[in-house]
Amino acid sequence: MRRKTMWVPAVLLLVGGLLGGCATPGSEKTGVTATMDMQDAAERADGMLGATIDAIEPEVQWAHGQTSSGDCEVTRRRTVLTVISEQRRGNFLGMVERFWKKSGYEINSVNASRDYPAIFARASDGFAISLLIGDKGQAFFEVDTPCVEESEVAAPTAAPNGPAYEGVEVPRPNVRSAFWSADTPVASPSPWSSTPT
């Protein structure tokens, strides 16, 4: 009887230690994120967003979206100001999807909606990245970080390639592109693996 009372508290201490830290299911710190704080994670998210937008050709104009944070995670956003026409959305999504796969991201799910298509992916270190097409063909990119050490988070430092819209709401897409805004489909089949229906 005495043995039970001696090891039960030890087991409870061990379980309590394992369950300590961030309580969000699926957000436990692993690998490189174990050494990150929220600012480090925000900078990693900025890098993912920057690399994705840099991979889009022809170039699109973008602005920073709102940064949000919880107890141990950060969300960074970028809003595309270039109009992505319905006829070119498959090409846009396909270009991004191919870049994410080339970058080693796992495509978790695809929304093949004609009006509001989206792609959701995840990097091996737990950073989740998504692309959503909204009203008037406006594209939104978002990165959600895994749980990391709590810290202050500074604003992104990358300069947008157009107006910054600091302190005001980012407008609906208002930049026309000879390619992305065209009302005719590209001659070749859409490269997107899940063509909207």
CA atoms within 13 A on the CB side of 155: 11
Mean pLDDT of 132-150: 96
Under DSSP, the state recorded for 17 is: H
List the domain range (segments joined by +) for residue 119.
36-151+171-179
Question: Per the domain annotation, does 166 fall within a domain?
Answer: no
Question: Per the domain annotation, does 67 fall within a domain?
Answer: yes
Please give the pLDDT value at position 31.
Answer: 60
Question: Per the domain annotation, does 85 fall within a domain?
Answer: yes
Question: Per the domain annotation, does 57 fall within a domain?
Answer: yes
- DSSP E strands in 47-151: the ranges are 62-64, 68-69, 74-80, 106-111, 118-122, 128-133, 139-144
Tokens of 64: 């920073």
Does residue 8 surpass a pLDDT of 80? no
Number of domains the chain is built from: 1
Residues constituting the chain: 197
Q: What are the Cα distances from residue 13, in Å, to 1, 9, 19?
A: 19, 6, 10
Mean pLDDT of 159-176: 94
Question: Per the domain annotation, does 101 fall within a domain?
Answer: yes
Task: Grade residue 170 by pLDDT with cuts at 50, 70 and 90.
Answer: very high
Model pLDDT for residues 104-116, shown as the tens digit of each residue: 999 999 999 988 9
Helix (H, G, I), strand (E, B) or coil at 101: helix
Other beta carbons less than 10 A from residue 117's beta carbon: 24
Name which of 146, 131, 134, 127 is nearest 172 in CA terms. 134
Q: What is the pTM of this model?
A: 0.80
More confident residue, 104 or 23: 104
More confident residue, 190 or 11: 190
Does residue 123 surpass a pLDDT of 60? yes
Under DSSP, the state recorded for 10 is: H
Question: Per the domain annotation, does 86 fall within a domain?
Answer: yes
Mean pLDDT of 82-105: 97
CATH of the domain at 125: 3.30.2030.20
Question: Per the domain annotation, does 82 fall within a domain?
Answer: yes
Angle between helices 38-54 and 89-102 (to 10 degrees): 130
Question: Per the domain annotation, does 62 fall within a domain?
Answer: yes
Please say whether the beta carbons of 145 and 49 come within 8 A. Answer: no
